[in-house]
């Protein structure tokens, strides 16, 4: 489980800083949503070195967003991107024959 305190996110810069720190994204992380999707698409492949957090193949990671209601109100663009891009990570993996990697947990 990874717990993200959404109160730390106030804009795109802090969004990417918080997730890069929580997941241990590589130094070349592009700090955009395409790069975010790429990094999280390899949670079950430690050899890709796209994050410091990993799951076993077939086991999703619980991504808990604390203070999601305030986050959605304060940063609607970032909140929507989080939801849509996490779904895209799962879709990308499923289309390739795998199982979803991310399970969201938040209350809005």
Q: Is 37 exposed, middle or buried (0-12, 13-18, 19+ CB in 10 A)?
A: middle
| Model pLDDT, residue 3 | 98
CATH number at residue 18: 3.30.370.10
- Tokens 């999280």 belong to which residue? 40
| Model pLDDT, residue 77 | 99
Range of the domain at 70: 2-105
How many domains, in total, are found in the chain? Answer: 1
Q: Which residues contact 108 (CB under 8 A, 6 or more apart)?
A: 68, 69, 72
* Per-residue pLDDT tens listing for the chain (108 residues): 999 999 999 999 999 999 999 999 999 999 999 999 999 999 999 999 999 999 999 999 999 999 999 999 999 999 999 999 999 999 999 999 999 999 999 998
């Amino acid at each position: 489980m990874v717990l993200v305190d959404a109160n730390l996110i106030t804009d795109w810069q802090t969004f990417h800083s918080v997730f890069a720190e929580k997941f241990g994204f590589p130094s070349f992380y592009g700090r955009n949503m395409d790069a975010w999707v790429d990094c999280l698409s390899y949670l079950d492949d430690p050899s890709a070195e796209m994050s410091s957090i990993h799951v076993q193949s077939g086991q999703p990671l619980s991504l808990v967003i604390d203070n999601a209601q305030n986050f959605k109100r304060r940063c609607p663009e970032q909140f929507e991107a989080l939801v849509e891009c996490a779904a895209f990570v799962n879709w990308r993996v499923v289309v390739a024959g795998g199982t979803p990697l991310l399970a969201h947990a938040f209350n809005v």
